[in-house]
Amino acid sequence: MSKKICALVLLLIVSVGMIHAQKATYKNVNAAEFKTLIETKKGTLIDLRTPDETKKGKIKGAEEIDFLATDFESKLDKLDKKQTYYIYCAGGGRSSDCAQQMIDKGFTNVINLQKGFSEWAKMGYEVEKK
């Protein structure tokens, strides 16, 4: 093989290795960016709080999947991994854990409200009451 071909083959091998080495991650955003994204982009909005927490209100249009429920994992497994998900909890802890679980399961587009519903409400954004 010529030096040129060897160099191209080596470059291809390195490039493929770099692509595989990049691990998918989720995106953390603040309440203002989260609001803009859910208003302008397609996807599913998920509230990960408990039923008692959502009684106080939730972001309009959010589906409820209780992160602490025993059936949480099975509900997560039923979701389309190629779809975009906007997730939040009360303060950002559970949703960060959930976002990482989703990425580990092969989800490709997960957006997390970094400081949770508490920041959303503090900003005065619309809250849907039950």
The whole domain housing 85 covers: 24-122
pLDDT at 20: 46
8-state DSSP, 106: T
* pLDDT, the chain, mean: 88
Q: What is the CATH number of the domain that holds 116?
A: 3.40.250.10
This model's pTM is above 0.75: yes
CA–CA separation, 65 and 102 (whole Å): 13
9 assigned to some structural domain? no
103 assigned to some structural domain? yes
Provide the domain count of the chain.
1
Collect all residues with Cβ–Cβ distance below 8 Å to 27 and sequence separation of at least 6.
110, 111, 112
pLDDT above 60 for 38: yes
Q: Which residues on adjacent β-strands are paired with residue 29?
A: 113
CA–CA separation, 50 and 16 (whole Å): 43
| Kind of pairing between the strands at 27-29 and 44-47 | unpaired
3 assigned to some structural domain? no
